Structure 1
Amino acid sequence: MAGCARRSSPPARKRRRLFEDATPLRLDGSEFFRGLQDARHNFCDVSVRGADDPTQSESQWIPCHRIVLMAHSLWFRRMLLAPMKEAKQDTIQLHNVPHDILQQLVDYMYSCEISVDASNALLLLQAADMLELGQIVETCQTFLREHIDVTNCLTIYRGAQQLSCADLTKECHDFLLEHFPSFCHSMEFLELDAVEISKLIASDELNVEKEEQVVAAVVRWLDHSFEERQSHAAELAGLIRLDLLAANHASLPDTPAGNHFQQAILSISAPHSTSTLRSSYGREPVIISLRCSTQGFGNRRRLVAVLHCLAPLTSNNWSLPCEPPQSRWHGFPVYVVKNGRLLVYVLTEAGSDECRHLHVYDATANQWTDLAVLPVRDHMKHIASPVVVRDQVYVVTADRVYAYEEGFSR
């Protein structure tokens, strides 16, 4: 309309999104579980019971809620949601779970709290593994790892094997190997079956100072139930590192088991020419003596070497026959233990080239390796000798020191 001023629109007000400044509500877990506990005995729609204890009266049914069981346990979730008769029943009995253990697990579902101790840890682990309660499984395994000792390790080992808990099984087996000197004197050692004791004494990681300790342990195991176990003597004798026994090792006890095992050892007509060293043999200083001699005549003449080892702290000694390269020795042999493998370094003069070669003998594999040729002048070769310092190999001559790392460097 002419003459009328156009009314301007008020400035647009900035709209705020709904909940833009809202503070998120965080529920207190403890409040939630307290409320769940208060409602636990109201509106229950299922009752569960574990295996009955024959020494006690019939176990009472545990009232609970399907939704709570399914929220915690995948096993219950599959059962109660599947078209199975149990899904429609008001009672469920678990014959593979002790009733008191089931009571603790149901209490945990309503409170998120559980007490794990030495008396129930393995039983809780077995039940939680079946019911697929992941947090309980992890908690129990952690507790068992931290409380393994000589008296319970075999029980935990067998339980972990049954449940296919690979990490826990390995930790228990490693514990038995490391603590074998004390374990072999325990009552639990006598409970081993033939497969379990064979697996232990066959291991390179068995912690013993002398091979005679293994022999004594086997005889003790056989003697515990000789009539039932004597058939395993020959198999166990084959696992003894016979060439690591001292030449003058003491005779076995004059018992049926001792005499029978002595005959089993003597019946092994052709023991291995050299045995794999147990890793514990490298935990103490060892004096090495490498003695060489020739055998045969003419074209059949060959060089034979025997590696003599002496551990002065324990008086442990053993000999390892080895097949050296066709050469002469110079200097003194030196040794180092790497990852349980005894390595002996020697300088040799190989064939007609009149050069000094650094050879290494791996006692575990009974194998010689020609590592490198020593780069020294002719008149210095006869006074060269290998040295090992902190696992580093050097060759010392009259006026130089050479470090070996895939070759020599000054």
Structure 2
Amino acid sequence: MDRKAEEKRRQRHSLTLLEQVKRMKESTEIVDVVLVAEGEKFPCHKVVLAAFSPYFRAMFTCGLVECTQREVVLYDIPAESVSVILDYMYSADLLLTNQNVQTVALAAYFMQMEDVFSVCQKYMMDHMDASNCVGIYQFANHISAEDLSDQARKYLYQHFAEVSLQEEILEIEFQQLLTLIKSDDLNISREESILDLVIRWVKHSRKSRAEHLIELLKQVRLVLVSPSFLVEARKRNTMILCNSECNDLFEEALKTIRLSSQPSLSLRYGMETTDLLLCIGNNSLGIRSRHGSYADASFCYAPATKKTYFIPSPKYGEGLGCVCTGVVTENNDIIVAGEASAVKMSRQKTRNIEIYSLCTTQLRELYALGTIHNDLYVIGGQMKVKNQYLVTNCVEKYSMEQGTWRSTAPLPVPLACHGVVTVKNKLYVLGGWTPQMDLPDDEPDRLSNRTFRYDPAQDKWAEGAPMKYSKYRFSTAVVNSEIYVLGGIGCLGRDRGQTRKCLDAVEIYNPDGDFWRDGPLMPSPLLSLRTNSTSAGSVEGKLYLCGGFRGAARHEVITKEILELDTWENQWNVVAINVLMHDSYDVCLVARLNPRDLIPPPPDLVDQ
């Protein structure tokens, strides 16, 4: 008998045993014990109970009085939980719901059924949200479930802005609330949320909680609250207005705010989260030997503070291969995509920097990646068909919520090495090259200066006004709802085979008016680091260009400086020199990150 046949035989044998034992329970045959919970009786078999529960095995084998008793009373365990666990013992089905999971977990904990307890923990982790994480956290602490407690605490802190608005948090004890609002790790952007929570918590049971108001208010960082909010909170709440000590706290905070523009108190976690330029994907070229530990890191730059940080590169975390493009979704998920194999995408969470594989689609390269809401679009590119590379107009959409791919309306023309940006929930595809049969092999196909707009509501493409230059290897960014196209390799007008050169041109597109205008020339001609990925990003109404290849007549020289374009002044400035540690990065994105989660730069780089 071969191995597979033997396995099937064993499975049939196990299923037969399970089915027969279940039938005997249902017909109360050979029943030798009855469990009693909340007055409800559950006839069953000692051998089954002992097989699944060390608690019952010990009870029935160590000579206790229960060995001879027909009935075993289970105190403080709901009848529903006993029923659910017995169903699992006799049928392998564990029917958990949001309403019963904690009581089933307690029963499993009492019966020492680690497998059931683990399933209950996983269920609570998977179904955790802002409305129940506080209760799960308290439950986990009560039974010393460390993994569940840690997961719930992280969720509570990370989603505190939303959790603080739920009714559940108003039920916690004073000491628990005090511990929470003392923490620097709460992910809130405004201290007003903490003050509002304290007031609501006291009001929820004012008679018993009013005595805690002063101690709680002392943990609220009142100088971080806006003066108008402080004044209004005091005016609307008599428990503050009529308490001299509360009034003193508010007056002192208002006085401090008037005298100082910079708060002296430490900020909470969410208050430090800011828009950062994120240069992702790299190789180790250009890394000094003393910076070897940074070879696998990508670069972050905070324009507001002019500080640099580093983040693990997703290609090293996921075996993604060469990163070719990326986007940041509405939910602030950082998505990067690779090429030269079946296209893999890696999703990077911005809290605790978790990296995991997202999806895979058909093999292609030199494509563009766009996003609308939280859907991803893989647009155009070059595909290998029967050992030949063909430029395609295919567009595929990936739903991150459903985890599914589907085809959408194709591009009007095949394109590769093009750029894509999102403005007002529409995709704009710019430039690139399109296949032609009359060009020599050592040149790419005809360059494009065309502009295409995709409307997901209608699943249709429309063509807009063309750019002045046909081009590829340019950078793109959206500033104040206008599209900036910077540098690249190209030629003036429609590509008819004329000479191509490195460009210092900046073209600006207004989607509402469907027209292009010239922007301020770059300090020198500049190419993007990759053939179709941007080296630019927009933060607080200013455009930043992070490195690239500088040169004329297509002579490429690596630059490691960061340029800033003030779009109101139309003036370029160098804001950082030699901060880009690697020789090249694959794509520049803008994401909301917290410096606490990032890797600090080496000391000698800071000194520079």
Question: In the alignment, which of 112, 137, 151 is matched to residue 171 of structure 1?
Answer: 151
Where do 1:378-397 residues align within 5 Å? none
Question: In the alignment, which of 24, 33, 36 is matched to residue 39 of structure 1?
Answer: 24
Superposition deviation, residue 338 in structure 1 = 8.9
Going from structure 1 to structure 2, the CA distance change for 1:85 and 1:155 (only over 3 Å counts) comes to same
> Which string of whole-angstrom CA distances, capped at 9 and with x for unpartnered residues, describes residues 320-343 of structure 1?
xxxxxxxxxxxx96346899xxxx
Q: Distance in 2 between matches of 1:265 and 1:145?
A: 42
Give 3-state SS (helix, strand or coil) of 2:74's partner: strand
The count of corresponding residues between Structure 1 and Structure 2 is: 291
Match of 2:535 in 1: none
Q: Distance in 2 between matches of 1:69 and 1:398?
A: 71
Match of 2:273 in 1: 283
> Which string of whole-angstrom CA distances, capped at 9 and with x for unpartnered residues, describes residues 55-85 of structure 1?
xxxx2x2222111111000111111112321
Residue 605 (structure 2) pairs with residue 405 (structure 1): no
Match of 1:314 in 2: none
Give 3-state SS (helix, strand or coil) of 1:148's partner: coil
Residue 33 (structure 2) pairs with residue 49 (structure 1): no
Residue 100 (structure 2) pairs with residue 120 (structure 1): yes
Structure 2 gaps of 5+ residues are 257-262, 277-303, 312-543, 548-559, 563-572, 582-600
> Which string of whole-angstrom CA distances, capped at 9 and with x for unpartnered residues, describes residues 221-256 of structure 1?
112222211221222122122443345653124323
Q: Distance in 2 between matches of 1:126 and 1:20?
A: 44
Superposition deviation, residue 282 in structure 1 = 2.1
Going from structure 1 to structure 2, the CA distance change for 1:399 and 1:207 (only over 3 Å counts) comes to closer
Query: Is contact 1:238-1:268 (8 Å) kept?
Result: no
Going from structure 1 to structure 2, the CA distance change for 1:278 and 1:71 (only over 3 Å counts) comes to same
Where do 1:87-106 residues align within 5 Å? 87-106=67-86
Residue 216 (structure 2) pairs with residue 216 (structure 1): no
Where do 1:3-402 residues align within 5 Å? 24=6, 26-28=10-12, 29-40=14-25, 41-52=28-39, 59=40, 61-246=41-226, 249-251=229-231, 252-253=233-234, 254-259=236-241, 263-264=245-246, 266-267=248-249, 274-285=264-275, 334-335=306-307, 401=578
Query: Is contact 2:164-2:193 (8 Å) kept?
Result: no
Query: Is contact 2:19-2:91 (8 Å) kept?
Result: yes
Going from structure 1 to structure 2, the CA distance change for 1:81 and 1:269 (only over 3 Å counts) comes to farther
> Which string of whole-angstrom CA distances, capped at 9 and with x for unpartnered residues, describes residues 149-177 of structure 1?
23333332222221111221222222222
Going from structure 1 to structure 2, the CA distance change for 1:86 and 1:261 (only over 3 Å counts) comes to farther
Match of 2:428 in 1: none
Query: Is contact 1:121-1:140 (8 Å) kept?
Result: yes
Give 3-state SS (helix, strand or coil) of 1:95's partner: coil
The structure with more radius of gyration: 1
Q: Which amino acid aligns with 1:276?
A: S
Query: Is contact 1:150-1:179 (8 Å) kept?
Result: yes
Higher share of residues assigned strand: 2
Query: Is contact 1:237-1:261 (8 Å) kept?
Result: no
Query: Is contact 2:137-2:149 (8 Å) kept?
Result: yes
Q: Distance in 1 between matches of 2:80 and 2:237?
A: 47
Superposition deviation, residue 267 in structure 1 = 4.6
Q: Which has the higher contact order (CA 8 A, sep 6+)?
A: 2
Going from structure 1 to structure 2, the CA distance change for 1:89 and 1:406 (only over 3 Å counts) comes to same
Aligned residues with identical type, % of pairs = 22
CA RMSD of superposed structures (Å): 3.9
Superposition deviation, residue 140 in structure 1 = 1.2
Query: Is contact 2:36-2:72 (8 Å) kept?
Result: yes
Q: Distance in 2 between matches of 1:89 and 1:186?
A: 48
Give 3-state SS (helix, strand or coil) of 2:274's partner: coil
Query: Is contact 2:230-2:250 (8 Å) kept?
Result: no
Q: Which amino acid aligns with 1:32?
A: L
Structure 1 gaps of 5+ residues are 1-18, 53-58, 287-331, 340-386
Query: Is contact 2:188-2:269 (8 Å) kept?
Result: no
Give 3-state SS (helix, strand or coil) of 1:92's partner: strand
Superposition deviation, residue 122 in structure 1 = 1.3
Going from structure 1 to structure 2, the CA distance change for 1:85 and 1:247 (only over 3 Å counts) comes to same
Q: Which amino acid aligns with 1:334?
A: K
Going from structure 1 to structure 2, the CA distance change for 1:399 and 1:36 (only over 3 Å counts) comes to closer
Query: Is contact 1:282-1:337 (8 Å) kept?
Result: no
Give 3-state SS (helix, strand or coil) of 1:123's partner: helix
Superposition deviation, residue 107 in structure 1 = 2.4
